Amino acid sequence: MPKTVKIVRFHKTGPAEVLQFDELPLPDPGPGEVRLSVRTLGLNRAEVMFRNGQYLETPVSPSKNGYEAAGVIDAVGPDVDSSWIGKTVSTVPGTFKLNSHGVYGEVAVVPLKGIAEYPPSLSFEQGASIWMQYLTAYGALIWLAKVAKGDFVVITAASSSVGLAAIEMAKVEGAISIAVTRTAAKKAQLLKLGADHVIVTDEEDLVARINEITSGKGARVVFDPIGGPILESLAAAMAYRGIILEYGALAAEPTPYPLFTALAKGLTIRAYTLFELTADPVFTKAKQYVFDHLAPGAFRPLIDKTFPFAEIVAAHRYMESNAQVGKIVVTL
């Protein structure tokens, strides 16, 4: 192994250009940790928010970044079974802090609990595109909402990797997915990827279309990372005693609580993050569920675009363009 490695860090918050390649001593894994020789990185919106200082975790300069990597374990901590060395794994978001264990780099040191094996039929690119999207969707749809056959499930920001995972998950559970996107540019692709219905909010009335699709019953489940004013429309389109899962704040503006609508319909409006799932005993069951659907191809991570490691700044800029359908991957 080399004595030094390139690790991407940022020394101040701001635009993508604050990301820089720092040449640092090769890190050794400590107790309960493993070191991964990184082959691919999967980018997530959370990492953009973290870089901007707008995330649940506050950056401590100089900060690492990155939740998802796939690669081969090349070293383990003193108390970790050496049989892990040589295994192909990916890292699991929500099991470590970005400041201390961010994975953007030629190597990544993460806690043992923060890795998982995936089906060998998947590529390294797909391996870095699993856990954030499928576990996030599982926690909301399966664990909390208990989505069942015949349920109408509204999925906003549907072209994101998490949105696409939710479409797949709704399908395997026999639910009816209603994908929501802002412009018509992604409509055909969302239908091709399995959405039962697509609503284009720039052209269609969200509430009226959901009522039309559900024959006036409304949707039982909403899975929303946007927040802001759209919450009022989503609540208006809900079925009696429906549940809205809010897992993000992409709107970047205040989110009004639709009190009277919630009272009239007996709605549950629930905040949710992946950290909640990974801290619960159901985490083990969730990982197995995802693995079992990846292996036969019921879940297929979609790669939108790949960038070389040297162009990670450009990859962040591309994510901020919102042009992608699926996962943005960086290769080493």
Q: Is the pLDDT of residue 140 over 90?
A: yes
State mean pLDDT over 141-151.
98
Instruction: Please indicate, yes or no, whether residues 126 and 159 belong to a single structural domain of this protein.
Output: no
State mean pLDDT over 242-247.
98
Bridge partners of 105, per DSSP, are 7
C-alpha–C-alpha distance, residues 6 and 104, integer Å: 9
CA distances from 242 to 158, 165, 228, 298 (A): 20, 21, 19, 27
Q: Is the pLDDT of residue 274 over 90?
A: yes
163 inside domain? yes
Instruction: Please indicate, yes or no, whether residues 22 and 124 belong to a single structural domain of this protein.
Output: yes
Q: Which amino acid is at 291?
A: F
Instruction: Please indicate, yes or no, whether residues 29 and 118 belong to a single structural domain of this protein.
Output: yes
Instruction: Please indicate, yes or no, whether residues 29 and 59 belong to a single structural domain of this protein.
Output: yes
Q: Which amino acid is at 51?
A: R
Q: Is the pLDDT of residue 1 over 90?
A: no
Instruction: Please indicate, yes or no, whether residues 149 and 201 belong to a single structural domain of this protein.
Output: yes
The whole-number pLDDT of residue 212 equals 98
Instruction: Please indicate, yes or no, whether residues 170 and 244 belong to a single structural domain of this protein.
Output: yes
Q: What is the pLDDT of residues 31-73, one digit of tens each?
A: 999 999 999 999 999 999 999 999 999 999 999 999 999 999 9
227 inside domain? yes
Do the beta carbons of residue 218 and residue 211 sit within 8 Å? yes
Instruction: Please indicate, yes or no, whether residues 56 and 161 belong to a single structural domain of this protein.
Output: no
CA distances from 270 to 80, 146, 232, 253, 260 (A): 38, 14, 14, 18, 16
pTM of the shown model: 0.94
The whole-number pLDDT of residue 227 equals 96
Q: What is the pLDDT of residues 67-93, one digit of tens each?
A: 999 999 999 999 999 999 999 999 999
Q: What is the pLDDT of residues 283-307, one digit of tens each?
A: 999 999 999 999 999 999 999 999 9
Q: Range of 12's domain? A: 4-130+301-331
Task: Give residue 325's pLDDT band: very low, low, confident or very high (50, 70, 90).
Answer: very high
Instruction: Please indicate, yes or no, whether residues 190 and 208 belong to a single structural domain of this protein.
Output: yes
Q: Is the pLDDT of residue 229 over 90?
A: yes
What percent of the chain is modeled with pLDDT above 70?
A: 100
Instruction: Please indicate, yes or no, whether residues 57 and 112 belong to a single structural domain of this protein.
Output: yes
Bridge partners of 73, per DSSP, are 36
Task: Give residue 244's pLDDT band: very low, low, confident or very high (50, 70, 90).
Answer: very high
- Angle at Cα 268 formed by Cα 44 and Cα 152, nearest 5°? 70
Alpha carbon 270 to its chain centroid, in Å, reads 18
Structural domains in the chain (count)? 2
Q: Is the pLDDT of residue 329 over 90?
A: yes
The whole-number pLDDT of residue 33 equals 98
309 inside domain? yes
Instruction: Please indicate, yes or no, whether residues 8 and 104 belong to a single structural domain of this protein.
Output: yes
Mean pLDDT, the chain, rounded, equals 97
The whole-number pLDDT of residue 55 equals 92
Question: Domain with 249 in it: what CATH number?
Answer: 3.40.50.720
- Contacts (Cβ under 8 Å, ≥6 apart) of 187: 181, 198, 200
184 inside domain? yes
Question: Domain with 72 in it: what CATH number?
Answer: 3.90.180.10
296 inside domain? no
State mean pLDDT over 16-21.
98
CA distances from 32 to 95, 136, 288 (A): 13, 25, 22
Q: Which amino acid is at 277?
A: L
Task: Give residue 326's pLDDT band: very low, low, confident or very high (50, 70, 90).
Answer: very high
Q: What is the pLDDT of residues 99-123, one digit of tens each?
A: 999 999 999 999 999 999 999 999 9
Bridge partners of 40, per DSSP, are 70, 331
C-alpha–C-alpha distance, residues 88 and 74, integer Å: 10
Q: Is the pLDDT of residue 252 over 90?
A: no
3-state secondary structure the chain: CCCEEEEEEECCCCCHHHEEEEEEECCCCCCCEEEEEEEEEECCHHHHHHHCCCCCCCCCCCECCCCEEEEEEEEECCCCCHHHCCCEEEECCCCCCHHHHCCCECEEEEEHHHEECCCCCCCHHHHCCCHHHHHHHHHHHHHHCCCCCCCEEEECCCCCHHHHHHHHHHHHCCCEEEEEECCHHHHHHHHHCCCCEEEECCCCCHHHHHHHHCCCCCEEEEEECCCCCHHHHHHHCEEEEEEEEECCCCCCCCCCCCHHHHHHHCCEEEECCHHHHHCCCHHHHHHHHHHHHHCCCCCCCCEEEEEEHHHHHHHHHHHHHCCCCCEEEEEC
Query: Is the sign of the CA dihedral 300, 301, 305, 307 positive or negative?
Result: negative
Instruction: Please indicate, yes or no, whether residues 101 and 222 belong to a single structural domain of this protein.
Output: no
Instruction: Please indicate, yes or no, whether residues 116 and 147 belong to a single structural domain of this protein.
Output: no
194 inside domain? yes
Q: Is the pLDDT of residue 184 over 90?
A: yes
282 inside domain? no
191 inside domain? yes
Do the beta carbons of residue 93 and residue 44 sit within 8 Å? yes
